[in-house]
Chain A
């Protein structure tokens, strides 16, 4: 299939009544700083021009200037909504190049926090998506506040483990930095039990709602071929019928020990992506329970605690490590040269690749659908612009 870079469809008046509207970088539903130049005919969008780069903070250069001990704390800032998975990608890349072993307990802890982070990130996704669709003064705000209420309980769990709520710095080369405090196991179980029950409430509230179905069914259809050509990943590609999950394709950090389902929906519209993420909630809860039950005793790092900035040195080599983030495949390509800093570090941002599908699926829809589609793509601009 020949995929053009930018699609502008012709309809109706042959271009005489076209209006160029800017959904600017400052916009209540742009999910961050994102500029979409929409070409409208009446209410229908006929062309989309996406402009990014408003949040560029030179992460890849920072990766060359900071050492392996310093950068994991910074890595959280790429995908700041799902910080644990971003750190994991970098640390895994360093471990792959340096052939560093990670003890089993650290691997299980990494799995627990990654899945909890997925739950928290999906809570935020659901809240902001409904906020965009329903209005800041309206039902959207209600669902948003409920989801944030649940997310706060997960952040409380992270705060008990690391001391921070959003940007953690938990991972380090060789393992993790913090071990579980007393009572954490019970706290996590309580949290996920509550979330399990509340998610059923929200599913019930939304899924049988004809308004919600009318807004999401048939909107923003990504066909299976388009999904594979453009290179999207995560819930977007699983919502289009392709069963691809990095945790199954290339298991890392003991994911092969756990029994979980990878949800796939064939239709490819916003509703199927919604269903995929809702099932992922439940599967993540299942994984956390299994990991907590099977958490082995042992050290949490194979390298001694960091005492100086240049302590970790990775010998020459290069590797690409990828993890299944909440938004898709987050990858980190690292070229090490034997010193304490990488020679080159490149991030593959999941949202960056996911955004490239927008010019293909938005034309033909109404303006109101643009926000629904953006919300179901769920970009985080820290990952896009790095």
Chain B
């Protein structure tokens, strides 16, 4: 409350004492609350499913082939332009000849994940790649694949994100109801 100070000696003194008591009571209560400190790195907090950690390239679950087809969509959409891809043409499908990602400049905006047509590039639920040499954060294709195998992937994949964002199609027939949005996983 707004209060005029300097009005009455005893009033002010009484207010001061009660104010002091109240403030000190709050700190005393917090003295006995459990600290919120998480003893990282011995203890890690649980990261949510959609956590945006380090980027990685994936292999196909069934065939074991690399998912990346070298289409360069991620390279074009990256706002700070940290991805550089060279395509390698082959008979049935294309691959990425080289794929470099400068993790030290990455913004972790997840746009590259969103545009990937084959869910090749994804983000992991961890960021434990701290290093003393910045050159180790210039990730090449092998390192990206290795990160994909080391950490736990987050939920977000290109197709998953695009499905979540795309409005449902209008029903073709009367009995064919479009999938409503609602709470999606």
Contacts and interface: CB of A to CB of B under 8 A. Distances in A.
Contact of A305 (B47, B166, B182, B183): B166
B73 A300 contact: no
Given A177-B165, A304-B162, A305-B165, A210 B48 contact: no
Interface string B153-167: 010100001111111
Contact of B16 (A210, A275, A306): A210
B110 A169 contact: yes
A51 interface: no
Given A169-B109, A300-B181, A304-B165, A66 B23 contact: no
Contacts of B114: 177, 305-306
B76 A309 contact: yes
B27 A142 contact: yes
Chain B facing A: main interface SS: loop
Nearest to A67: B77
B5 A213 contact: yes
Interface string B55-72: 000000000000000000
Interface string A212-255: 01100100000000000000000000000000000000000000
A5 interface: no
B50 interface: yes
B1 A207 contact: yes
A103 B110 contact: no
B33 to A, nearest CB: 10
A182 B183 contact: yes
B166 A204 contact: no
B181 A208 contact: no
Interface in B66-123: 73, 76-79, 107-111, 114-115, 117, 123
B18 interface: yes
B180 A201 contact: no
Contact of B19 (A66, A175, A209, A304): A209
Contact of B181 (A71, A207, A271, A298): A298
Contacts of B12: 210
B2 interface: yes
B181 A163 contact: no
Nearest to A139: B23
B26 A205 contact: yes
A301 B167 contact: yes
A210 B12 CA distance: 8
Interface stretch (A154-162, A189-197, A325-333): A154-162
Nearest to B161: A305
B8 interface: no
A269 to B, nearest CB: 9
Contacts of A160: 48-50
A105 B12 CA distance: 53
A164 interface: yes
Contacts of B117: 307
A299 interface: yes
Contact of A163 (B52, B77, B182, B185): B52
B16 A105 contact: no
A70 B30 CA distance: 44
A213 B3 contact: yes
Contacts, number: 154
B15 A304 contact: no
B22 interface: yes
24 contacts: A69-B111, A70-B78, A70-B79, A74-B107, A156-B48, A159-B47, A160-B50, A169-B111, A177-B164, A178-B50, A204-B26, A210-B12, A210-B19, A213-B2, A213-B3, A271-B2, A298-B181, A299-B167, A299-B168, A299-B181, A303-B167, A304-B162, A305-B166, A306-B114
A179 B184 contact: yes
B80 to A, nearest CB: 9
Given A105-B181, A271-B2, A309-B73, A301 B50 contact: no
Contacts of A167: 107, 109
A149 interface: yes
Contacts of B109: 73, 167, 169
A305 B162 contact: yes
A3 interface: no
A183 B100 CA distance: 37
Contact of B167 (A103, A162, A205, A307): A103
Nearest to B116: A307
Q: Which of B36, B111, B123, B165 gathers most chain A CB within 10 Å? A: B165
Given A211-B19, A308-B73, 17 more contacts: A73-B111, A146-B30, A169-B109, A172-B165, A177-B114, A179-B184, A181-B49, A181-B50, A205-B22, A214-B5, A301-B165, A301-B167, A303-B167, A305-B114, A305-B165, A306-B114, A309-B73
Q: Which of B18, B77, B117 gathers most chain A CB within 10 Å? A: B77
A283 interface: no
B51 interface: yes
The 4 closest A-B pairs by CB, nearest first: A305-B162, A305-B165, A299-B167, A73-B109
A254 B69 CA distance: 42
